[in-house]
Amino acid sequence: MFRLMPEAPGDESEVEYLFDLAFAPGRSALSSYRLRDGVARVGDLSLVARDATDGIAGAIRYWPVLIGAEGHKALLLGPVAVHPTHQGEGLGASLIWDSLERARQAGWQRVVLVGDEPYYRRFGFTRAAALQFPPPTNPDRVLALELVEGGLQGVSGMVRKFTPGAA
pLDDT band at 33 (very low <50, low <70, confident <90, very high): confident
> How many domains is the chain built from?
1
Query: Is residue 98 a part of any domain in this protein?
Result: yes
Pick the more confident residue, 23 or 71: 71
Give me the CATH number covering residue 62: 3.40.630.30
Residue 137 neighbours by CB distance under 10 Å: 15
On average, the pLDDT of the chain sits at 93
Whether residue 114 has pLDDT greater than 70: yes
User: Greatest CA span in the chain, whole angstroms?
Assistant: 47
What Cα–Cα distance (Å) separates residue 92 from each residue in 73, 87, 108, 110?
Answer: 25, 8, 21, 20
- pLDDT value at residue 99: 98
Query: Is residue 51 a part of any domain in this protein?
Result: yes
Give the domain extent around 32. 3-161
Q: What secondary structure does DSSP assign to the chain, as a single string?
A: --EEEEPPGGGHHHHHHHHHHHH-GGGGGSHHHHHHTT----TTT-EEEE-TTS-EEEEEEEEEEEETTTTEEEEEEEEEEE-GGGTTSSHHHHHHHHHHHHHHHTT--EEEEES-HHHHGGGT-EE-TTEE-SSS--GGGEEEEESSTTTTTT--EEEEE--TT--
- pLDDT value at residue 163: 84
pLDDT band at 164 (very low <50, low <70, confident <90, very high): confident
Whether residue 153 has pLDDT greater than 60: yes
Give this prediction's pTM: 0.94
Whether residue 167 has pLDDT greater than 60: no
Closest CA to 1 of 61, 54, 44, 47: 54
Query: Is residue 34 a part of any domain in this protein?
Result: yes
Query: Is residue 131 a part of any domain in this protein?
Result: yes
Dump pLDDT digits (tens) for 42-95.
999 999 999 999 999 999 999 999 999 999 999 999 999 999 999 999 999 999
Query: Is residue 167 a part of any domain in this protein?
Result: no
